[in-house]
Amino acid sequence: MKNKGVPSLSKSLKINFKAWRILFKEYPHILLSNIFVAIWGALSPYVGIYLAARVIDELSSGKDKNTIILLVAATLVAEAIIALLTALLKKYKNTQSAGMYYKIENIYTRKLLNTDFATVDDPKTQELLTTIRQNRNGGGWGIYRMIYDVEQLVSALFSALGGISLTITLFTQAVPENAGDFVVLNNPLFIIAIIAAMVIITCTAPLLDSKAQSYYAKLAGTLNLGNRLHGHFGQVCAEKRYAEDVRVYRQHVYCEKYGNDKTTTFGTKGTFSKYSKGPVGVLFAISAAISEVFTFIVYVFVCLKAWAGAFGIGAVTQYVSAVTKLSGSFSNILRTFGEIKNNAPFLQLELDFLELPDKLKSGEEHVEQLADDDYEVEFKNVSFKYPGTDIYALKNVNIKFGQGRKLAVVGRNGSGKTTFIKLLCRLYDPTEGTILLNGKDIREYDIIEYERVFSVVFQDFALFAMPLGENVATSAEYDMKKVEDCLNKAGFSERLASWKDGLNTVLYKELTEKGVEISGGEAQKIAIARALYKGAPIVVLDEPTAALDPIAESEIYANFNSIVEKKTAIYISHRLSSCRFCDNIAVFDSGEMVQYGTHAELLSDKDGLYSQLWNAQAQYYNKKED
């Protein structure tokens, strides 16, 4: 995903200000601490410059000793106070900026958690977020750069103000009339010419810098790809999941070949090397050279005026330092404006992500709490196409279920089974038709209340590196007996009994060495227990035994009724043996529900898809079906 080019400065400032407000709303002290440090760091050096100039003046003119002692004491006290306040402000800044990466990630995560699943599930959204992260991690673009630019701009502005206050007298103090040819230094045209030369040089250097930086901004996509390739080939041999293949097929040789290739992105003959040796390097070199010319002009002008008697030696140090800092400040202002322009397209990508619209609108109706969990769901002429495609994933589905019944949904891969569940849970809204809960369109219900009706174990479920009990309850505080009961129903009690820390056992080793690695089947049992703990009236299990061995699968189905109790249950499965435990079976094919009935009814239809699928799997069943 590419940015849309560098916008104008005014538009760039608007983009930056918009991003600034978002960050300030979430973490105000990050920006405030940076601004305070910038202001203090910009102004405090001028105190030392001014006092040092006064001390030198007193020493060179042989004036009162007590005055010199007083000035030296004032300088030392001022420097001590400046050092103390600088340390305190930097501590404030460092404290607030700690964990910057995770704070910015938290902004992204919060957006994802509060955005429609349909938007999150869209590949374009994932591509956008990936690009944002690569821009940040590779070139430091986006909000990261904005924070730095804010600090640099504030620092430069206040530094310029301080420089102006100590520089004005350089041009107003006249050379004595008896200074001979040096009187020309008083000529307004000469002064204007000197100021013009300083301004031109001051502006040229940062403009060249910004032009050089713009090449890096344009190469952000190349940098991102290079980082991805470098990260992949650099880490593949260290990844446990690749270990067997790497050794058997000697893939490390290929990785080494890529790593030693000098023509890759970061190689000595690669893209960035060429630019660094070419236009980028030339621009940076000219910018540095021009800055030295400015220093030369300042020294010559100040020294000539001092030589002619316009001011003393102490003033020379003041003016040289102040003018140099003033020029540097204006250069930084222009350089920062250039960075703001270059960074604007990357910031815009982040704003585009944070402003992704929600398409699913929550209704206002409350879901009625029924004591007997007597909820009925009906699909009426429901069809659905995923965004960006004209192909129907579901077509004209009509089905009614609920009231404690058990429904199996079966079919080949890609037949629409999982899409059916996503619509049921209102992760998506139908393209056509209506889904009803107790006779009312589910779009009329408060979406949070509607979600509470369902406990779901998705095919690609996730467990987290935290204690087992918290994984099941999805909470730090939970009912231990209820958790243990749910784990027992899911067939996990024997494994739980072998752990000395019981429910406090941390899953996986990501956060602690004491963590326990679990198999896919064990993880699936925990996920089933989590669905049971939620206690929703409708339980949805998408491939609930896919990772279980035949014995564990048999246990799940043997305890089928005790697991779901009187709740409505929907099973998505490739293993048709699960269908024997269900009241009704819906058979999907190419997005359509082609059959519906009991196991016996569907099996009796020898030409039906269900009978074909059953017979294809019959060799794996211990018990033959007539």
pLDDT value for 444: 93
The secondary structure of 269-293 as a DSSP string is TSHHHHHHHTHHHHHHHHHHHHHHH
Task: Tell whether 31 and 158 lie within a shared domain.
Answer: yes
- Which string of DSSP letters, residue by residue, matches 177-230? TTSGGGGGGG-HHHHHHHHHHHHHHHHHHHHHHHHHHHHHHHTHHHHHHHHHHH
Report if residue 277 sits inside a domain.
Answer: no
What pLDDT is recorded for position 585?
Answer: 92
More confident residue, 37 or 295: 37
446-494 pLDDT, tens digit each: 988 999 999 998 888 889 999 999 999 999 999 999 999 999 988 898 8
Give a yes or no: residue 385 inside a domain: yes
Q: At residue 528, does pLDDT exceed 60?
A: yes
How sure is the predictor about 625, in pLDDT bands with cuts at 50, 70 and 90? very low
d(CA 404, CA 391): 34
The CA-atom distances, in angstroms, between 336 and each of 24, 155, 565 are 20, 11, 65
Does the pLDDT of residue 604 top 50, yes or no? Answer: yes
Domain that holds residue 167: 9-173+311-354
446 plus 515 within the same structural domain: no
For residue range 514-524, what is the model confidence (pLDDT) as tens digits?
Answer: 899 998 888 88
Q: How many CA atoms lie within 13 A of 487 on its CB side?
A: 23
Token pair of 384, please?
């659905």
CA-wise closest residue to 214 among 273, 283, 271: 283
pLDDT tens-place string over residues 264-297? 666 667 676 777 777 777 777 777 777 677 777 8
- Do the Cβ atoms of 433 and 382 come closer than 8 Å? yes
Residue type, 196: A
C-alpha 82/C-alpha 45 separation (Å) is: 9
**pLDDT attached to residue 461:** 85
Q: How many helices (H) and strands (E) does the chain have?
A: 24, 10
Q: In the predicted model, is pLDDT for residue 232 greater than 70? A: no
Count of domains for the chain: 3
Q: Are residues 547 and 529 located together in one domain of the fold?
A: no
The pLDDT tens digits for 339-363 are 888 889 889 999 999 998 877 788 8
> What local confidence, expressed as pLDDT, does residue 436 receive?
95
Listing DSSP states for 26-59 in one string gives H-HHHHHHHHHHHHHHHHHHHHHHHHHHHHHHHH
User: ∠47-50-56 over CA atoms, to 5°?
Assistant: 135
Please check whether residues 616 and 545 belong to one and the same domain: yes
Tell which of 335, 354, 373 closes a domain: 354
Of the three residues 535, 566, 587, the one that is the final residue of a domain is 535
43 and 138 part of one domain: yes
The arithmetic mean of pLDDT across residues 165-177, rounded, is 82
State the alpha helices, DSSP H only, in 389-519: 417-424, 447-451, 468-473, 480-489, 493-497
Domain contains 293 = no
Q: Do 402 and 546 reside in the same domain of the chain?
A: yes
Specify whether 107 is located in the same domain as 43. yes
251 occurs within a structural domain = no
Using the predicted structure, report yes or no on whether residue 433 has a pLDDT greater than 60. Answer: yes
Of 133-137, 199-203, 344-348, which range is least confident? Answer: 199-203
Residue 432 and residue 379 in contact, taking contact as beta carbons nearer than 8 Å: no
For residue 498, the domain's CATH number is 3.40.50.300
Higher pLDDT, 201 or 254: 201
- Domain-terminating residue out of 327, 354, 381: 354
Residue 586 backbone class (left: φ over 0; alpha: ψ -120 to 50; beta: rest)? beta
Kindly state whether residues 52 and 69 are assigned to the same domain: yes
| 427 and 475 part of one domain | no
What tens digit of pLDDT does each residue of 494-507 get? Answer: 899 999 999 999 99
Compute the average pLDDT of residues 155-176: 84
Q: What is the pLDDT of residue 203?
A: 75
pLDDT of residue 626: 41
Mean pLDDT across 154-178: 84
Place 613 in a pLDDT band, splitting at 50, 70 and 90.
confident
The per-residue pLDDT for range 370-412, each reduced to its tens digit, is 766 778 899 999 999 998 888 999 999 999 988 788 898 998 8
pLDDT score of 624: 44
- Give the pLDDT band (50/70/90) at residue 618: low
The answer to whether residues 475 and 546 belong to one domain is no
User: Is residue 468 included in any domain, yes or no?
Assistant: yes
Do 544 and 471 reside in the same domain of the chain?
A: no
The residue-averaged pLDDT of 107-111 equals 89
Task: Write down the mean pLDDT value for the chain.
Answer: 83
pTM, two decimals, is: 0.73
294 within domain boundaries: no
Tokens of 514: 């004491």
Fill in the DSSP letter of residue 374. Answer: -
Residues 110 and 16 in one domain: yes
Return all residues near 570 (Cβ < 8 A) that are at least 6 apart: 401, 406, 407, 408, 409, 421, 424, 538, 539, 540, 541
Residue 458 lies in a domain: no
In a domain, 295, yes or no: no
